[in-house]
Structures are given as C-alpha cells and as structure tokens.
Amino acid sequence: MEDQLKVLETINKHVHINQKFIGQLCNFSAGKVNYLIRDLMEKGLIGTQKHGRSTQYYLTKQGIRYLKNRYASYQDKKVYLHGGKTAQVKEVVILAAGETKEFNLPVSLLPLDGTTLLQRNINILRKHGIEKIIIVTGYKKEAFSQLFDEEGIIFVENPRYQWTGSMSSLACAKNVISGDFLVLEHDILIEEQAFTQLINNEQRDCMLIATESGLGNEAYVELRNQYIFKISKDLHQLNRINGEMVGISKISYDVFQLMLEEYKENQNPFLNYEYLLLDVSRQYKIGYLKINDLIWSDIDTKEHYIRILNLVYPKLKRKEEKYFVHQFKETISSTVGIPQDQITGVSPLGGMTNKNYKISVAGGKEYVLRIPGAGTKKMIDRRIEKENAVLASRLGINANILYFDENKGMKISEMIPDAETLTPKMARREGNMKLVAGILKKLHTSGIPMKNKFDIGQIKARYEQLVDEVNGHFYPNFRKLKEEVLKIKAMYDAMQVPLVPCHNDTLPDNFVKSGDDRIYLIDWEYAGLNDPVWDLAAYSLESSFTEREEELFLSFYFPEGITEKIRMRMLMHKIFQDYIWSLWTVYKEAKGDNFGDYGITRYNRAIANTEFFLSKKVSA
C-alpha cells in the first residue's frame, strides 16, 4: 500500500510523467513500476494519455479523492507520548497576571461568599491533593500579599503582562514546574466536580471544554475524530461547534517541554497557551474532557461579576450541595447496601482532622460517614487504624463499624444511640469523669492484641519531616524547645514504663455518651501500645482541667492512690503532646487547614511546662 501511495504522490507532483521517470523518482525497478501501474489503473486511480510515442500518467478524480483520504488518515494518527505511564497531579499554575479594565484589583481577589474566588479555588485544589500552587502575577502583584507567606504557594511574576498572552505567563513558571500540572485562569468560577474529573482523568494531557455559556467571549471548539481540531472565537472559522474552552487544562511535564520548544520560535507575544497546546496536538495525543451542563463563568466585566454573585454562584452552590449528597448516598448504598431512596438526609457533624456526616435512613436508623481530611494519608496508617478500631468495637467501647476502606480512609459506622459528644465543660462533671476513667481503664487492662506501638520519638521525627517537606515554618525558638524535649524524653525512656493498648487521642470530642451511664470512645487513628498515663494526660489537657479537677479525675482511675511517679509521667506526656500536636498543626495549616491559635497555644504551653519541669529537676 505504501508503494502505491508513493507512485500516486509522484504522479500527482509531476505533470505528464512516464513509467521510466516514475521508477527513477521512486527508486523502483521497471518491473515493479509496471506492476504497480497496472494495479492502480485497474482500481481507476490513474489514467493514461499518449504524448508522441510516450505513454504518460495522471490521477483520475477517484485517484485524487483516494490520495486526499490517505493524507487525512495520517493527520488522525498521533504519537502517544507517555506509553501508558500514569502520573499523579500535585501542582497547579494559576495565571493571574492580566488586568481587567473595569476593576482596580485582580478579579480573583474580588469578594465571594465570605472569601475570594482565588481562595475558593485554592481550597478545592488542596482538597483534591494539589500540594504546589504556582501563581503567576503581573497587574498589582502586591494585592496578593496576604498569600505571600502561605505554605505551598509560589509566586512568579510576568513583568511583561501588559504586552503578552497567557503562554508568556505560563513560560515564566517553567523553573518551578516539576511534574504534571493543572493550569487555569484566575478569573474562573467553576463547579468542584470539574477539578475532580480533570485531576482523575486518565489522560495526562487534557483540555476541559463545556457546552456554550453564552457569555459573549467564547472560545469555540470544533472536535474531529475524537480530538480538538480547532479553537476560535470567530464562528465563521468552524464547520461545527462542539463546545467552548473553559480555561482549565491538565498538561504533562513532557508536553510542557514540547510547548516551550515550540515557543522559542514564537513571534506573536500575545499567543495564548491553548493555541500552542493545539499546535502540539497536531503530532501528539492531546485529549479533552467535555462536561455537559457545567456551571461556570469567568469575570471580564462588572456585569459578569454581578451575574456571578446574583445568579451563577447561588445556582452553583445548590448544585454542588445536591452533587455531594448524591455522592454520599451512592457511597452508602454501594458499601452498606441501603437503597438510595431510603436515605432521607445527609448533614455535617464536624470534625478536627476529618469530615464527618450523619446519614439518616427511613425507619429512624442513622449512620456516620467519615471522610479523611487533607494530608492525613501521610500521617495515618489506615490499615492499622482499621485493625485497632475493629478490636475496640469487639471490646464494646467503639461504635459498630460497617465499612472501612483502608486505602481511602473512608469509614461508615452505626450512629451511637442518643449520642451526646462531650465538650471540655461537660468533661469537668464528676459523673463524666467516672465514665471516662472507667472506659480508659477497660481499654488499658483489656490486653487486646494491638500490633503497633505509639512511639513518641518516631511520631515527633515524622511530623518534623512532614513540616520540612511542605516548607512549613516552625514556631519561634523551635530548636531550643526540641533539645529540651529530647532531654525529657531520655529521662522518660529510662523509666521503662510497660506498654498497654491505648487510644492516644483522648480529647473530649472523641467520647460519646449514650444515655446517662454508657460512654463510647471513637476515632482510633492514633491507637497503639503506649503508656496508659498518656491517655490520662491528654484528656486532662484537652479538657483544660484545673489541678483540683485533674486530681479528682486521676483518683477515679487510680483508686489505690496517685504516686509521684504518675504525676511526673503526666507532666512529661503533657509536654510531649503539646510539642507533637503543635507540629501537627503547622503541617496541617501548611496543607490548607486553619486552626486559629490552637497550634501556637499548645506550643507556648509546651515551653512553659518544659521550663517548669527542668527547673524543678524532677527525677524518678
């Protein structure tokens, strides 16, 4: 077939050509040319005409159509750059350099439901695993100052933003892009599901398109043979309209390098990155993701912004709420087997590390769905959590677990009947102190076969490493405190305290009463073998007990009496806990959470207790 194509191409390029000349140009023997010519004539692809004593050849109309179709088939063939290799997207480039004439600040910083458009997008991206956020600024770059010190955010400037397009801004970020990434215009409000689907799409290079928005500034898309064939704002340039560009794409690091190589030859400073990506797609496979009925808008004018506030955003919020409720119902149905039409309600329950939701079912039954928080995968071994949580349920001190995905960390458990979660104020009541002391004593003396140790030294080192990985900022005088904590840790190790099953996260919120005389202990993420006094110290700290209240609480746990050694271990563990949970806070806030003054308060208390401990020279 390729030899025939070569002959057809030669005849097409040379008018009135004979067999001898065809053979010379194609480097074919006379016999081979004769055979190919006969076959092509039989198919009606070429014709002949006499010119003196010479027979000359030309393409018939059918031959011209055949050649055109063969060329078109080659255009449809793309190089698959990645060879089936996948990559997790951890980076995003937000293009925020441009000026919008009707506003006196970058439009992504305009107010939106108590936050800004930019912050909403950052929160969503972090929720879906994006760790490095690169923001390219230009116009009024100082307006972004509130984010300058935020962990995980890198600022890059396009000093020529007034005279360049989006590809110039994207190229400015080349030195800080280190892997596959998302790229989006900063003025886009869009449903969360768009980010979710694009990040999880198996195509490593993928442009997001949607149905026409009618905003008046559309970049229309024409699809052909399952790829983006043309992008234009001029309707007259397209044979058909299959949607419009949204302004969000996923780009692999390899394709980005090809784009940069192409950009070296660019002579149009106003080139937008989508058109360069389209150029690359002529030879390489660049996919697309089309989401129909997607709610989104960008902000080019004050009219767009007013429309977002009054129409688009309220509509988007309603749809997202319905979408998440549908997701939860689908999850409950597929894992626990409850029909979706039997699920009557989904409501948030809160949570510090994770997000928890109450699922109500027809007939009065209720369940709790736990969704892991951002960054917890690196901090918590879900397989171990599952094993320990099941052991606690069998012991009768934890809620009954119906489903636990140890890969994703999602958990579904039965709602504790007449559930009442303790607060620090409730924790100070004598009756509740007795219940808590009793359930902790039951756990500590149970002998349930927990396989892991809650090693304070390992956890301290791990959290310090995590803070370093996300470029978090330690609190002032951290090095000094660290050295002093290590001294106290050496004293504690010398005591050789026997280890027993412990919960290790005994804040009041993890104790749930069921009626007046029954209490449960939930959330076993940190459970493992440890000194039982750790749990007592944690409960006292988190409940803000006074010295008298702590003495009363300990008397319920130690009816035989409280020794000085126990008091010393209590203080040691309070220091260790404030130290590691302040590190935990630094890490979590670097990942996008906000815990107010929780971390610095614990840190300062660790310093005060450490100074007190060392000044008294407490010894065993």
In a domain, 340, yes or no: no
d(CA 69, CA 558): 88
Task: Give the residue from 300, 320, 344 where a domain finishes.
Answer: 300
d(CA 414, CA 401): 6
Q: What is the pLDDT of residue 78?
A: 60
For 594, the 3-state DSSP assignment is: coil
Question: Which residue intervals of 428-475 are DSSP H helices?
Answer: 430-444, 456-469
Q: What is the pLDDT of residue 619?
A: 44
Most confident segment among 15-19, 30-34, 162-166, 455-459: 162-166
In a domain, 408, yes or no: no
d(CA 587, CA 585): 5
- Contact in structure between 499 and 530 (CB atoms under 8 Å): yes
- Report CA Rg, the chain: 33
Q: Is the pLDDT of residue 81 over 70?
A: no
What is the average per-residue pLDDT within 558-584?
93
Please tell me whether residues 216 and 121 are part of one structural domain. Answer: yes
pLDDT digit string (tens) for 337-395? 888 888 888 777 766 667 788 888 888 889 998 888 655 666 688 999 999 999 999 99
Q: Is the pLDDT of residue 82 over 80?
A: no
Please tell me whether residues 198 and 277 are part of one structural domain. Answer: yes
Q: What percent of the chain has pLDDT over 90?
A: 48
What angle, 0 to 180 degrees and rounded to 10, lies between the N-to-C axes of helices 2-13 and 30-42?
A: 90
CATH number at residue 534: 3.90.1200.10
Please tell me whether residues 170 and 45 are part of one structural domain. Answer: no
- Contact in structure between 81 and 255 (CB atoms under 8 Å): yes
Please tell me whether residues 61 and 107 are part of one structural domain. Answer: no
Q: What is the pLDDT of residue 219?
A: 81
pLDDT top residue among 419 and 81: 419
Q: How many residues does the chain have?
A: 620
- Contact in structure between 235 and 254 (CB atoms under 8 Å): no
pLDDT top residue among 541 and 230: 541
Q: Is the pLDDT of residue 472 over 70?
A: yes
Q: What is the pLDDT of residue 618?
A: 47
Q: What percent of the chain has pLDDT over 70?
A: 94
Q: What is the pLDDT of residue 216?
A: 66
In a domain, 368, yes or no: no
For 184, the 3-state DSSP assignment is: strand
- Could you give the number of structural domains in the chain? 3
DSSP H helix total and E strand total for the chain: 20, 25
Please tell me whether residues 57 and 100 are part of one structural domain. Answer: no
In a domain, 271, yes or no: yes
pLDDT digit string (tens) for 279-321? 888 777 888 999 888 889 999 899 999 999 998 998 898 888 7
On average, the pLDDT of the chain sits at 88
> How do 519-521 and 511-514 pair as beta strands?
antiparallel
d(CA 423, CA 85): 49
Please tell me whether residues 44 and 158 are part of one structural domain. Answer: no
- Give me the domain span that covers residue 466: 421-616
pLDDT digit string (tens) for 22-79? 888 888 888 888 888 888 899 898 888 887 777 888 888 898 888 877 766 665 556 6
Q: Which residues pair with 437 in a beta bridge?
A: none
Phi/psi of residue 207, each to 5°? -105, 135
pLDDT top residue among 42 and 151: 42
Please tell me whether residues 125 and 66 are part of one structural domain. Answer: no
Query: What is the rounded end-to-end Cα distance, in angstroms, of the chain?
Result: 90
Per residue, the 3-state secondary structure of 476-492, as one string, reads: CCHHHHHHHHHHHHHHH
Model confidence band, residue 198 (pLDDT cutoffs 50, 70, 90):
very high
Model confidence band, residue 90 (pLDDT cutoffs 50, 70, 90):
very high
What is the average per-residue pLDDT within 489-504?
95
Neighbours of 24 (CB within 10 A): 12
CATH number at residue 49: 1.10.10.10
In a domain, 382, yes or no: no
For the ranges 97-101, 547-551, 595-599, 612-616, which has the lowest average pLDDT?
A: 595-599
Per residue, the 3-state secondary structure of 207-259, as one string, reads: EEEECCCCCCCCCEEEEECCEEEEEECCHHHCCCCCEEEEEEEEECHHHHHHH
In a domain, 594, yes or no: yes
Torsion sign over Cα 349, 194, 379, 408: positive
Please tell me whether residues 48 and 152 are part of one structural domain. Answer: no
d(CA 504, CA 452): 12
In a domain, 373, yes or no: no
Please tell me whether residues 56 and 167 are part of one structural domain. Answer: no
Q: Which residues pair with 500 in a beta bridge?
A: 530
Please give the full DSSP string across 504-538, using - where no structure is assigned.
Answer: S---GGGEEEESSS-EEE---TT-EEE-HHHHHHH
- Contact in structure between 500 and 441 (CB atoms under 8 Å): no
Please tell me whether residues 117 and 172 are part of one structural domain. Answer: yes
What is the average per-residue pLDDT within 7-15?
84
Q: What is the pLDDT of residue 140?
A: 94
Angle (CA) 446-449-454 rounded to 5° is 95
CATH number at residue 105: 3.90.550.10
pLDDT digit string (tens) for 475-495? 888 889 999 999 999 999 999
Please tell me whether residues 108 and 21 are part of one structural domain. Answer: no
Task: Give the residue from 300, 333, 366 where a domain finishes.
Answer: 300
Please tell me whether residues 31 and 175 are part of one structural domain. Answer: no
Task: Give the residue from 300, 320, 343 where a domain finishes.
Answer: 300
Cα dihedral 51/56/61/63 (nearest 10): 180
At 307, the amino acid letter reads R
Q: What is the pLDDT of residue 173?
A: 96
What is the average per-residue pLDDT within 118-129?
92
d(CA 112, CA 562): 56
The answer to pTM > 0.85 is no
d(CA 1, CA 371): 58
Neighbours of 119 (CB within 10 A): 17
In a domain, 401, yes or no: no
Q: Is the pLDDT of residue 588 over 80?
A: no
